Amino acid sequence: MTTQTTQATTSPASAPARTPFKVDDLYLHMKITELHCTARFQRAVCAVQSVDREKNDYQSKLWMYGLEDSEVLQITHGTGKDHSPCWAPDGNTLAFISDRYGSAQIYLLPMSGGEAQTLGHFEGEVSSLRWTPDGRTLLVTATVSVDPNLRGRRPPPDAAPAAHAVSPAELAWKLPYKSDGVGYLLAREIHLFKVDVSTGDITQLTDGAFDVLAHGVSHDGQQLAYVRTREGRFAHGTDLWVCGPDGANHTRVTETHTHVMQPVWSPSGRYIAFTGSVLAGDAEVRLWQLDTTTGKTRQLGEVEVADPNSVHWTDGEDGIVFARAHEGRHEIARITLDGHMDVLLAKDHQLGAFGWTDKHYALALQHPSAPSELHVCSKDTCADSLRQVSELNPWWKERTAIQAESKWFEVPGSDGGTQRIQGWLIRAEGALDGAPLLNDIHGGPASYALLDFDTSIYWQVLCSQGWSVLALNAVGSASFGHDFSHELEGHWGTYDMPQHLAAVELLKAQGICDDRLAICGKSYGGYLTAWTIGHTELFKAAIVMAPVGNIETHYGTSDGGYYADPFFMATAPRFDREKARRLSPLQHISNARTPTLFMQGKEDERCPKCQSEELFVTFMCSGDNAGELVLYPNEGHAFLAEGAPACRADAAARIIDWLTQHTVNETYCDVEQAA
């Protein structure tokens, strides 16, 4: 096993003593969620999210940073959510979306001074925007209300408005009919519009029983590319379409992909780069190139894209720069059209947002040792010139210094041999060995351990209290190659659980941790946590969050289960119920004797609450094990990272309390059980 220590923050000897992290630090954290740069002017605008504790909600304001000087300016204020900043081509106007007066609408802010003004008015919510190259028009997507009883058809032009009250029924006539974080889908569509910047006049460019999810405009402004869902019985697939600037000649240009994401035109207009995957349910995001002259698409290299919005062409059209997901990290890489790749920036971090000018890359970095901040580097010397620009979270310097080590483990492989996997060991700087350990399992499973503060606030708090955290990227994780990611299909729990157990045992053998072991996870991590405690009593405490507990019922109750579960069971397009039952934690949870806390958003549509409820009831009825179920009203699948601030604070506090009571304070547990 090899070890590499990275990004440790060293405190000067004369610095004042640091204080431990606490759950309430989530109310202090300011996070860069989006950024946009001008092509020729060396400045970036960031959407910065903060917490309004009194309203139990979030605010988002726009900040402008100079990339070559010390310019820092908060350019929007108030209590709403300002986001999606987008510079006009001449850099003199900033467009953005805000809900400051109710629904999300377009605002224009002149850089010469003055207040932001609305542009046009949409009956629905605006969701994204792009400028045309001449700066005269904005292309936007916005919601449109429709009657689901028409099942995608349009009412006759002379139809009178309905005289009766709107039915409360939610009719489902295609799949998916719901989505986590949104709810019922079929009473609205998302369409593409253009808005005249001088007049505010709005023209709808697409129409039909589908949603437009992404769009881009060619450099000459004469062609639009957009991604839309499919019409008919199954709408989870997306395709790339093109049309003229006035919405004429709509043409579908991809045929072999199930998932297509953000399109990006090359300077000449000959090519469109896009990200996506061929198979339904495949979470690996690959890079593709469409030749508009031949209509043919081809994959560019064997790379995984971390952020579809990071993809952009080099000025000479000889290659593409993008944020690459590689071995649990995010890199900046450039790939040529013949597949040759150069890594421009590779450090042990992940990216929360990414932008570029003609001279610089701007990036919001994420790492357990640091808060969300804007960094900048020169395009010519990325690795050597990387520096921090913003100072949004000065309070972080007063907290316990945290370090993260990238570790590689030799663990059991699926072929009976061994396999090399990577993980992060997170603990306080100077932490003592022989500490309690939390094995935190990421979701997906075709994802990787996320390193941002908002996702797992309890990591820093536990590390401040002497814990170590292991965030492992076991078999099935993305960013380690196609074969590694797909190897877990049809083998949930059976291939990856032994790897987690082996990694924990290796840390014990090294003396890094002792027998005070705990396990937790959310989504697929919740699945594997529940599976593990049904097969071993190694851990003293467990927390199962928003899990897949019963794959058979997940198939029919999840917003994407009907196509994702057959893929992950390796039986697509057929769903093998017998195999699903065999690989479900529900079949084994009655064997569990580990004190277990179940946590769930009540409005979760990705892993619905029935998944936690089935596990919890079976667990409680199988013995006198310590167990609790916590449901959060009005919260979805992302309750832990994106839920209401009070929900996130409560969840983090319960996690820390449960782990402490049942792993560290064993005397407390014994007394409680005796009582």
Give tens-digit pLDDT for 394-410: 999 999 999 999 999 99
Please determine, for residue 285, whether its predicted confidence score (pLDDT) is greater than 80.
Answer: yes
With tokens 């899990």, the residue in question is: 547
Residue among 429, 414, 425 at smallest CA distance from 490: 414
Q: What is the pLDDT of residues 579-588, one digit of tens each?
A: 999 999 999 9
Please determine, for residue 263, whether its predicted confidence score (pLDDT) is greater than 60.
Answer: yes
Residue among 301, 323, 319 at smallest CA distance from 310: 323
Sign (positive or negative) of CA dihedral 497, 499, 501, 504: negative
pLDDT at 166: 66
pLDDT at 163: 57
Q: What is the pLDDT of residues 39-58, one digit of tens each?
A: 778 999 999 999 999 999 99
The edge-to-edge listing of strands for the beta sheet with 251-252 is 212-217, 224-229, 238-243, 251-252
Please determine, for residue 318, whether its predicted confidence score (pLDDT) is greater than 60.
Answer: yes
pLDDT at 39: 77
Q: Which residues contact 314 (CB under 8 A, 6 or more apart)?
A: 320, 321, 334
pLDDT at 9: 38
pLDDT at 160: 77
DSSP secondary structure of 535-593: T----SEEEEES----HHHHHHHSSSHHHHHHHHTT-TTS--HHHHHHT-GGGTGGG--
Sign (positive or negative) of CA dihedral 650, 655, 656, 660: positive
**CA 80/CA 70 separation, integer angstroms:** 27
Please determine, for residue 4, whether its predicted confidence score (pLDDT) is greater than 50.
Answer: no
Q: What is the pLDDT of residues 112-149, one digit of tens each?
A: 989 999 999 999 999 999 999 999 999 999 999 999 99
Name the helix (H) or strand (E) containing 361: strand 360-367
Please determine, for residue 3, whether its predicted confidence score (pLDDT) is greater than 90.
Answer: no
pLDDT at 12: 44
Q: What is the pLDDT of residues 162-206, one digit of tens each?
A: 655 667 899 999 999 999 999 999 999 999 999 999 999 999 999
Q: What is the mean pLDDT of residues 496-505?
A: 98
668: confidence class by pLDDT, cuts 50, 70, 90:
very low
**CA 675/CA 671 separation, integer angstroms:** 6
Distances (CA, A) of 290 to 239, 282, 283, 302, 402: 12, 20, 21, 16, 44
Sign (positive or negative) of CA dihedral 380, 363, 225, 139: negative
Q: What is the pLDDT of residues 562-579, one digit of tens each?
A: 999 999 999 999 999 999
CA dihedral of residues 415, 418, 423, 427 (deg, nearest 10): 140
pLDDT at 504: 98
Q: What is the pLDDT of residues 417-444, one digit of tens each?
A: 999 999 999 999 999 999 999 999 999 9
Please determine, for residue 632, whether its predicted confidence score (pLDDT) is greater than 50.
Answer: yes
Calculate the average pLDDT of the chain.
94
pLDDT at 38: 85
pLDDT at 15: 60
78: confidence class by pLDDT, cuts 50, 70, 90:
confident
pLDDT at 8: 37
Please determine, for residue 535, whether its predicted confidence score (pLDDT) is greater than 50.
Answer: yes
Q: What is the mean pLDDT of residues 612-637?
A: 97
Q: What is the pLDDT of residues 639-652, one digit of tens each?
A: 999 999 999 999 99
Class of residue 213 by CB neighbours under 10 A (exposed 0-12, middle 13-18, buried 19+):
middle
Amino acid (1-letter code) at residue 168: P
Please determine, for residue 10, whether its predicted confidence score (pLDDT) is greater than 70.
Answer: no
Q: What is the mean pLDDT of residues 312-335?
A: 95
pLDDT at 666: 63
6: confidence class by pLDDT, cuts 50, 70, 90:
very low
pLDDT at 14: 53
Question: Does pTM surpass 0.85?
Answer: yes
Q: What is the mean pLDDT of residues 469-489?
A: 97
Spell out the domain ranges in the chain: 400-674
Instruction: Count other C-beta atoms under 10 Å from residue 302's C-beta.
Output: 11
Q: What is the mean pLDDT of residues 277-299?
A: 96
Q: Which residues contact 407 (CB under 8 A, 6 or more apart)?
A: 1, 2, 3, 4, 422, 423, 424, 425
**DSSP one-letter code for 492:** T
**DSSP one-letter code for 366:** E
Instruction: Determine the CATH number of domain 400-674.
Output: 3.40.50.1820
Rounded CA Rg of the chain? 25
